[in-house]
Amino acid sequence: MQYPLDKAESGSYFFFMIFLKHADLDELLDSLSGDYHVYVPVNTARGAGYTRYRGPGTDYAVGGIRSFDPLKSFYFLGREKVAEDFKPDIPRKNDKPPCMVGVKSCDLKGFKILDFVFIDEEFGDPTYMKARRDGLIISSDCTAVGENCFCTAVNLNPWPDSQFDINLSPVDGGFVVELGSGKGKKLVEEYSLLFRNVEDVKLDGAVKENRKAVKKEVEVRVAEKNIPAYRRLERIVTKQYENMEVWEESSRNCVECGACNTVCPTCHCFLLYEQKTDDKFARFRVWDSCMIKDFARVAGGENPRARLWMRLRNRFDKKFNYFPEVAGEIACTGCGRCIAACPGKIDIREVLARLEV
């Protein structure tokens, strides 16, 4: 855990933990709502999801597992207007940035892929870069394990270690706060009356025990599914690229709905189209899916991935071969959303286990 150091009169240093009470988090979010669109996690019949924070009466819960809607939804919208009537102005440029609360480690890992794709000084995506630059991430530890979670298999812990401004580790009465950026440090300093420095080894012990228990449960689920070790995942698709039996069998129940791409925190493909409204033309960007037949079709009707098994193989190839090569990161976060969303019951964990030899 990373906490600030205070210096005593004797000249020695002591570690102080930053503590935030539940009620003080409400007050913090109330204040942040003036500058941000604040989104908090809520429990629904479908599982955990996000909703706009509407004040202290908002029924939200920090902790639990990741939401069913991926974090990318708030930085790279499913459908957005990117240009209008040839005007140089960027739509939504004056919109409030997002403040995401309770974000989990698997979603934060998604930023490493999305940043690689969308952030560039010359050719970067301006709306994504603005949201990343101006937004605020208040992450949290997982305090439970979902049925489809397998983050430890892709070398992640069920608690954030980067990509956040402040992290909240739930304990009795509130949260132990960890600083993750200069923006987070500034936030704690600005609202110093809400954050308290405490010297309590029991709190530190509680955080460590909670993390140890959750990680152990994930590891048990990973072992039950026989998911290959992380060091072998980066080479697994290359080794089995020509294994048609695995790819054909795994894709047999696919209905080409694109749900796996939609809920994945790292999938980022899109298409552009023009639409005329009120005698004006607007250009829109919408999410696209590599699992749909027309995705790779070119002029003249040729399609390098005309068969369904080819498209499934390409999806795995990009996650476990291409991005490790170009970005140094596996483009899978172990969130398990694609497993839950797939109507054909295709389980990425089972496919990876079949690819292991």
Task: Return the closest-CA partner of residue 320 out of 246, 234, 243, 226.
Answer: 234
pLDDT tens for the chain, 357 residues: list them: 444 434 333 333 334 689 999 999 999 999 999 999 999 999 887 788 999 998 877 889 899 999 999 999 999 999 988 888 777 777 666 689 999 999 999 999 999 999 999 999 999 998 899 999 999 999 999 999 999 999 999 999 999 999 999 999 999 999 999 999 999 999 999 999 999 988 777 888 999 999 999 999 999 999 999 999 888 888 889 889 999 999 999 999 999 999 999 999 999 999 998 888 777 888 889 999 999 999 989 988 899 999 999 999 999 999 999 999 999 999 999 999 999 999 999 999 999 999 986
Q: Which residue has the tokens 């990876």?
A: 352
What pTM value is reported for the model? 0.90
Q: What residues does each domain of the chain span?
A: 14-224, 230-355
Task: Return the closest-CA partner of residue 116 out of 66, 163, 157.
Answer: 163
Report the C-alpha gap between 271 and 291 in whole angstroms: 14
Tokens found for residue 215:
């990680």
